[in-house]
Amino acid sequence: MDGIVGPATLNALNNASTSTTGSSTVNSSTQETASDIVAYSKKFIGVPYVLGGTSPSGFDCSGFIYYVFKNGGGVTVPRTVATLYQSGKSTSTPNVGDIVFFDITGGPSHAGIYIGNGQFIHAGSSTGVTIASLSNSYWALRYLGSKSVL
């Protein structure tokens, strides 16, 4: 034995304490915070995309997540997609309020907030803040997974 944990083992370990059936392991306080975050995020639909943006005058994807979690749920999360991806606990299926990640440019390079029913809200470079489907052909091909930060 070399003690090195490969990607499959790491994923299994990360998911060992995560429910595979959705929110059954999520406590009511977490569910309430997730609901608050999702409700707050929807107030920004239509706000334009601005590279490096972290305010309602314009967001990039991680700036949107950072702003919404902080102001809509009182939760401080990392500011960039890379650091968001390194934090949190991997989930086998996203729960409301989880962050969903995508590979646009090689590795985790785009993120959004899962809002339920196979949908996520995000600040897209061509759309601004909008709701999209994980099953959309563009997003489905680039989906990396979800992580819980709550």
pLDDT tens profile 54-112: 999 999 999 999 999 999 999 999 999 999 999 989 999 999 999 999 999 999 999 99
DSSP state of 68: H
Query: What is the pLDDT of the chain when averaged over all its residues?
Result: 87
* Residue 22 reports pLDDT greater than 80: no
Beta bridge partners of 122: 130
pTM > 0.85: no
Please indicate whether residue 4 or residue 49 has the higher confidence score (pLDDT).
Answer: 49
Write down the catalytic residue from 34, 47, 95, 122.
Answer: 122
CATH superfamily ID and name for 7-148: endopeptidase domain like (from Nostoc punctiforme) (3.90.1720.10)
Indicate if 110 belongs to the active site. yes
Indicate if 108 belongs to the active site. no
Instruction: With residue 144 as reference, give the H or E element that holds it.
Output: strand 143-148
Q: 3-state DSSP call for residue 78?
A: coil
Give the domain ranges of the chain. Answer: 7-148
Instruction: With residue 121 as reference, give the H or E element that holds it.
Output: strand 119-124
What are the structure tokens assigned to 123, written together? Answer: 């600040």
Apex 62 CA angle, 145 and 119, nearest 5: 45
Indicate if 40 belongs to the active site. no
What are the structure tokens assigned to 28, written together? Answer: 């009511």
